[in-house]
C-alpha cells in the first residue's frame, strides 16, 4: 500500500519508522501530513522569507535613519539656542587661571618672576598718564588724574593699579583669580590713601559689562590680551564699558617669529625670565590685527609704539620696533552730533548774520554777494 506512494524523503522516513505492514495507519497519515506541511513551510521560508526579511530590514534602516536624523536636528537646534542665549560665555582661559594661581603669592617680589612687570611701570604708567592728560584741561598738582575712573583689567596683584591710584584716579581692578585679588587687597591695605581710591573684584570683564556700561574714562589691559581665549569679545567688552571719548590702553606681545624665539624659547625655556608655559604664541596679536578689531568696535588707534626689555639690566625702553612688545592707545568715538542740532546751529548763525547786517552796512553788502 505504501510502496506506490511518492512521499519523497519524508514519506520514506515515515515508512521506515512504521515498519512493514503499515501499522498505526491513522497516526502515520497524521505524521505524513505534518511532514508535508513542514516541508512546504520550509520551502516558503527558504524562497520567500529572504525577500520579506530584506523588506523589513529596509524599513528598519529607513526608520533608524529617520529617527537619528530627527535627533541630530534637535541637537543642532538646541546648540544654536544655547549659543544665542547662553550667559556662560567667557574670555577667561581656565588653563591660564591655573598658571597664575600658582604664582599669586609672588606678585610683589620685585626681584622675582614678576620683576619685568615692576620695571615696565617706568614706561606704561607715564604712557597712560600723559595720554590722559591731553583730555584734561586742568589738573591738580600731585594728583593729575584726580576725578578719572579707570578700570584695570587682569590687574593681578595690583602692580599697575596702585601707581594709577597714587596719581589720583579712582581705580577698579578686576581679575578672575581669587588669590591674585587677595594679594592685591592685602598690599593696598598698608596705604590708607590707596585703600580709599582702589577697589578690587574677583570677576571677568564680561561679568561686569552690563552694570558698568559707559562708566570709565579709561580701560587698561596691560599684558592681558595674549592670555584671553576670545580676543574680539574681550575688546568689545572694553569698548562697552568706556565712556564716549574714553581711552583704551593695551600692552602686549606681537605675533612674529622673533617674539617666539625671544619671548618663549629664550625667556621661558633658556633664561627662565618667566615661568614655562606662561605664554602661548598662537595667542599673540599683531598691531595690525589689534587695530582692525578696535576700529570695527568704534575705537580709533592713536599710538602704537614698541617696547624692548633688556634682561641683563632689567629695564625697559621705548623703540620704533614693534616686533616684540608694544603699547597701543585707542580712543572711543564720541557722541555724534545730531543732524537736527547742526541745522539749528546753522539757523542760529544765519539769524545772527542777518541781525548784524541790519546794523552794519558792510555786512549787508557781503551777504548780497
Q: Could you tell me which residues are annotated as the binding site for Mg(2+)?
A: 223, 226-227
Asked if 325 contacts 273 with a C-beta cutoff of 8 angstroms, the reply is no
As beta bridge partners, residue 330 has: 248, 301
Hey, what's the cell of 139? 589738573
Whether the CB-CB separation of 316 and 123 falls below 8 Å is answered with: yes
Cα torsion at 230, 231, 236, 240 (round to 10°)? 90
Cα dihedral value 345, 348, 350, 354, nearest 10: -170
Residue pointed to by grid coordinates 602661548: 280
Q: What is the 3-state secondary structure (H, E, C) of 188-248?
A: HCCCHHHHHHEEEEECCHHHCCCCCCCCEEEEEEECCHHHCCCHHHHHHHHHHHEEEEEEE
DSSP letter (8 states) at residue 259: I
Q: What angle do CA 268, 273, 279 make, to 5 degrees?
A: 40
193 Cβ contact partners less than 8 Å away, ≥ 6 residues apart: 165, 166
Binding residues: 124, 154, 175, 222-223, 226-227
Q: How far apart are the first and last CA of the chain?
A: 142
Neighbour count for residue 116 (Cβ, 10 Å): 17
Residue environment code for 228-250, b if the CB has 16+ CB neighbours within 10 A, otherwise e:
beebebbbbbbbbbbbeebbbbb
User: Where is the binding site for S-adenosyl-L-methionine, in residues?
Assistant: 124, 154, 175, 222
Written in H, E and C, the secondary structure of 265-299 is HHHHHHCCCCCCCCCCHHHCCCHHHHHHHHHHCCE
Amino acid at each position: 500500500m505504501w510502496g506506490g506512494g511518492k512521499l519523497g524523503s519524508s514519506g520514506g522516513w515515515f515508512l521506515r519508522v512504521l515498519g512493514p505492514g503499515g501499522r498505526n495507519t491513522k497516526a502515520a497519515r497524521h505524521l505524513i501530513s505534518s511532514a508535508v506541511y513542514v516541508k512546504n513551510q520550509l520551502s516558503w521560508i527558504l524562497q520567500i522569507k529572504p525577500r520579506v526579511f530584506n523588506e523589513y530590514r529596509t524599513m528598519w534602516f529607513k526608520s533608524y535613519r529617520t529617527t537619528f536624523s530627527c535627533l541630530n536636528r534637535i541637537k543642532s537646534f538646541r546648540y544654536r539656542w544655547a549659543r544665542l542665549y547662553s550667559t556662560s560665555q567667557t574670555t577667561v582661559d581656565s588653563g591660564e587661571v591655573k598658571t597664575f594661581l600658582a604664582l599669586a603669592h609672588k606678585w610683589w617680589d620685585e626681584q622675582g618672576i614678576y620683576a619685568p612687570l615692576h620695571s615696565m611701570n617706568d614706561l606704561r604708567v607715564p604712557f597712560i598718564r600723559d595720554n590722559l592728560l591731553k583730555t584734561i584741561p586742568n589738573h591738580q598738582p600731585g594728583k593729575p588724574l584726580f576725578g578719572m575712573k579707570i578700570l584695570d583689567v587682569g590687574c593681578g596683584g595690583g602692580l599697575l593699579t596702585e601707581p594709577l591710584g597714587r596719581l589720583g584716579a579712582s581705580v577698579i581692578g578686576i581679575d578672575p583669580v581669587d588669590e591674585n585679588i587677595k594679594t592685591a587687597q592685602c598690599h593696598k591695605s598698608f596705604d590708607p590713601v590707596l585703600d580709599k581710591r582702589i577697589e578690587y573684584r574677583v570677576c571677568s570683564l564680561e561679568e561686569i559689562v552690563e552694570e558698568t556700561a559707559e562708566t570709565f574714562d579709561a580701560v587698561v589691559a596691560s599684558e592681558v590680551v595674549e592670555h584671553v581665549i576670545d580676543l574680539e569679545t574681550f575688546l568689545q567688552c572694553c569698548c562697552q564699558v568706556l565712556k564716549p571719548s574714553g581711552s583704551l590702553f593695551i600692552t602686549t606681545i606681537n605675533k612674529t617669529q622673533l617674539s617666539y624665539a625671544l619671548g618663549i624659547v629664550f625667556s621661558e625655556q633658556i633664561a627662565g625670565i618667566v615661568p614655562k608655559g606662561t605664554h602661548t604664541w598662537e595667542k599673540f596679536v599683531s598691531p595690525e590685527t589689534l587695530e582692525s578689531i578696535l576700529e570695527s568696535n568704534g575705537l580709533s588707534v592713536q599710538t602704537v609704539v614698541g617696547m624692548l626689555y633688556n634682561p641683563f639690566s632689567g629695564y625697559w625702553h621705548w623703540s620704533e620696533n614693534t616686533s616684540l612688545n608694544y603699547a597701543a592707545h585707542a580712543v572711543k568715538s564720541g557722541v555724534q552730533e545730531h543732524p537736527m542740532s547742526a541745522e539749528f546751529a546753522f539757523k542760529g548763525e544765519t539769524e545772527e548774520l542777518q541781525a548784524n547786517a541790519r546794523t552794519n552796512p558792510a555786512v549787508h553788502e557781503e551777504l548780497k554777494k
